[in-house]
Amino acid sequence: MFQKETQEGNQGTEYSADRPLLDGNQLLLQVAQLVGYISEHAAYHHGEQSLTMTIVNLAQDYIGSNNLNLLMPNGQFGTRDQGGKDHASARYIFTEPASITRTIFHPDDDPLLNYLKDDNDPIEPEHYLPVLPMVLINGAEGIGTGWSTNIPCYNPEDIIANIRLLMDGKEQVPMLPWWRGFRGAVKKIADHKYDVTGIVKKINDTTVEITELPIHKWTQSYKAELEAMIGEKGDGPVKVIRKPRSHSFY
């Protein structure tokens, strides 16, 4: 499990966020209510805002967020327009476990978990045992204890194929980063380095049409960069920017 914008001091947040949703509770919950529930039952000792963002991040499903969201985004959980920062307040959005969540964190593995205690009260496990490495599926980016981490997302089908090769004692196949719904190109340029490009089409000598942006290049910030190229008096290299279609945000 992965929090897209890891904040210092909230290691283990995702474990806490998923605990009540893996206990068989399939009700649709307000995110603000879920935050309160986790704080009470999982001995969560960090800030509420950090926990709220973890829940929001686990549910986001726009291109460039999660390849496989463990929670359902019932409401405005953010879009590609602002990289998820345009999500609504926690009291206005709702979530529930995705249908595939309990397949990845299978109930049969629950007895194998090492459940922790806080003041002699049982809380979340030390770690979960997903059948697939979620850190590769959804990636990881942020600062841990003394380490900076940036792991791209990969295709779940490629991961499953490599796991089967590993189980058979065979050599694994190198994988390229992959984001669900992304129509651009990913090219390896060196070890652990990749070029991720969008799609631009030349209409004529003075006009180009951009139909796909690179991953983590958000619509609003990219448009601001282009507008800055126009110049205050319209004398820059870019003359006109048409408003992007709404579906390009997602």
Residue owning tokens 């809380």: 123
Predicted TM-score (pTM) of the model is 0.82
User: Which of the pair, 200 or 238, is modelled with greater confidence?
Assistant: 200
Q: How many CB atoms lie within 10 A of CB 248?
A: 15
- The answer to whether 64 touches 57, Cβ cutoff 8 Å, is no
On the 0-12 / 13-18 / 19+ scale of CB atoms within 10 A, 43 is middle
C-alpha 114/C-alpha 223 separation (Å) is 49
What average pLDDT does this structure show over 173-194?
A: 95
Q: Residue 26: is its pLDDT beyond 80?
A: no
pLDDT, residue 5, reads 38
Burial 204-224 (b: 16+ CB within 10 A, else e): eeeeeebebbbbebbbeeebe
Which domains are delineated in the chain? Answer: 13-130 (3.90.199.10), 199-249 (no CATH)
Task: Give the catalytic positions in this structure.
Answer: 92
Residue owning tokens 């940036």: 150
